Structure formats: C-alpha cells, structure tokens
Structure 1
Amino acid sequence: MGVLIRKNDPVGAAIWDYYTAAGKHLITVKTDIAEDEELSPEYLLRDFSQMPDIEQTALEKSTGHVLDVGAGAGSHALWLQGKGLTVTAVDISPYACQTMEERGVRDVRLLDVMQLKNEQFDTILLLMNGLGIAGTPEGLNLLFKHLKTLLKPGGQILADSADLLYLFTDEAGETWIDLNADKYYGQVEYRLSYLDIKGNPFNWLFIDQETLTVIAQENNLQVIEMIEGSNHNYLTALKNI
C-alpha cells in the first residue's frame, strides 16, 4: 500500500485531532458493499477493557519481541509495553505514528510492513482486521510469504479477520454470489474521509477461515488455533514451521 502523505491520511488526522483535543469529528467510511458509516476516532484510542474479546486474547497470547502491524494509535503496543514486552509498531500513517510517539510507544516506524527486512520477531500482530492490508487472496499469499521472513523459528502470527459470506446469505441459508467469480467476495473497496482530508481508494480483504488455512499452509505456516468472535469474525494463531 505504501506510506501515506498527510493530505491523504484521514484516519491518522482524526486520531491526532482527537488525541490533542483539536477536534472530535467522525471519519466517514464508504465501501462498495454497504451504506456509508461513520467511525469515531475515540474507538481507536480505547484501552484494554474496551477491546473485543479476540483482541484481548491476541494480546494475552503475545510473547517475546512483538511486531505490531498497522499499529494505529498504539493502543495494543502500549498495553504490551506495560506487560514488559518489547514492541516494534509500524504504520503507514504519519499522523498515527506521531500520535504513538506522543503516547509513549518506544519503537515507532513509519513504513509499509512489506518494506521491513533483516529483522525477526517472536510474535507478529495484525489486529482490527489486520489481514485486510493484503487486499486480495493473492495479496495474502504475498503477505504471508513476507511475514514468514520476519518470524523467528517457532514464532507466531496472531491476526483477526471475518467471513463476509453472511452478507450474501438469506434466511434460508442460500447465497446469491458466484463463489467462482474473478473477484473474491471478501474483497472490499474502501474510501475514507475526515473533514476535507480524503484518502485514496484501497482494497481491504476479509478472508474466510478455509481459504486462510490453505494460503497459510502453502507458506509453511501451521494453523494452531481459530477462535470465533461475536460478529462473524475470528482470531487465527499461525506458527512458523
């Protein structure tokens, strides 16, 4: 996806404004599969007690040197630091990275994780639908291939996603999408804006558990656990083998 510039960084700008008390405006979220929604940046600065169960579980399972991918406002990194773990937090948002530094995250990197090389970690976190950065199932294969180079032997990836098939399923359990179509049904185009800051359109991936498992195995990543969430989402734990 590449590093953003500030004029195209709506989510980061909203986080920074909220954190610095410069404003509490909402982020507008547009997709090609649902009606427009609004997101409060307050949610991105929440503490551990406000996080969903699967996020809490992922943090509790994290060990060693942790790479927090798409770290946002740094809420996960700060909790892990508080538990004594070493955390490297990466994000493509300059405003988010600035916020993390101000909040006390010790190792903040403004970069696309695909640019990170020659380092290895015990745990790689991709939370808040963090696998979405892959964009497509093919992109997920490339992402896993790269993340494997960043994992120590026996290291783990902890990531959450969701299966969007329920959006295309009626009460009788019948689906009305072509599962053999060129475009995977969990590939969603997003357009985000905040005040007069408009982000570039991008693809975000929601991947079903079966497809994720196949792609993980193709990259010699073993699925250790799948933990169901409360809204068609799940946490997966993958081990480097």
Structure 2
Amino acid sequence: MIAIPAIDLREGACVQLVGGSYDAERVRVNDPLEALAMWRAHGFRAFHVVDLDAALGRGFNTDAIRRLTLAGQGLTFNVGGGVRDTARVEALLGEGASRVVVGTRAIEDAAWLTEVANRHPGRIVVAADVRGREVVTRGWTAGSARDVADVLAALDPLPLGGLLVTAVHKEGQLGGVDLPLMREVAARSRHRLFASGGVTTREDLRALAEAGAHGAVIGMALYTGRLDASAIAREFME
C-alpha cells in the first residue's frame, strides 16, 4: 500500500479542514508548492490534490494545480474537486494529472461516467464520499439516498483507475479510520481502493493495508505532526 499526502486547495492555499467544514480550517500553507516540496523531501511520490472551492462552486484553483503538476514532474497526482464535465477532465489530464477524481456527477449521471471512463480507461477515479453508509455529493453537502454497496455494484463494470472512498464522518478529526467500511469496499469491488478519512496512526495505515487498500490519503495527521512523515513514506511506498 502507498501513503498519499493530501494537498487540499482553498483560495490558492493548501489547507486542512475538520470534517470538511469551511468554518473549521485548522491548517493553512499559503503556497501549495511549499507543501509539495515538504512532503517530497520526506520521500512521498504520490499526491492527492483537491480543489475545495470548485467542489462547492466557489471558483477554481486552476493555477495552483498547474503549478503543482509542473513542479512535480515524475510524481503521481490524483486531482479532483468539482470535476463535472468532460472538458474539465481532459484539461486536468492535459495539465499533468495522472488520474482525475470525479464525484458528484459520477454518482448522479451514470451515462456520463460510462462515457468518460471508456474514453480514458484507467485514468478516472470515482470518489464515493460516505457519511454513515450514505454516499454524499456536492462537497459533502447533499445526500444521494444511495447506500455505498449499491454504488459499488454500479461502478464495478467500468474501466476505472480506482475508487476514492472517504469516510466523511472521520475526516480531519484524528480519531482513526472507518475500518469496517474500508474492508467492505475492498471485498465488494474489483477496483483499487484509495482510502481516506481519519488516518491518525501507523497502525491505521497497517490496518488499511491488511484490509486491501491500494493507497491511503493522509491529511491532518501529517500536517499536524502526529505521524512521522519520513517513516511513513519509507514504510508505505507501494
């Protein structure tokens, strides 16, 4: 399993939010390139970039994303946040994203997801953001009334690059991961699982690896120093 630092973008800066709430920003690095350089120096080679403003319809951090991918040539970037049309998918791929993460429209528009996944096989990651068992959309502000198991079944036939499953109820709270959820996803789906939400300790990461996760996205625990970044990068390289 690979450990993947999160670089969440808001108003051009790299931030960490508690529970995804804009009113609960805990960490801010004004220049996202500083965050990239910091994690790269520790040995990380894969990154998860999210445009929080785009996810909530508050604008785009296009310049920051472009700067990150240009500065990190040779690294792996999964990039998402408010990606709701094919043109945006192709623009991000053209600007250096290794894979593009699609959430809201992917959950709400199966025909569009099928079309874009077949057009770019292996390069589309679907974000299934889960609160309890319900998949939520629109920057975690709207419920879909769909159980995660139903969503997984619908996604299974597609040529995806993976699933990003975020336990929203665990996000940013340094309280541990939702291991039963991640075990269920890994067991039900043939796609690679990128697990997110609540990673706090090395034991969390080891448990996710044992559960079958391909990667684990880490945010608050790295930015607040709860995890030894260099040790984590060494242990979870692949």
Q: TM-score, normalised by structure 1?
A: 0.36
User: Max radius of gyration: which structure?
Assistant: 1
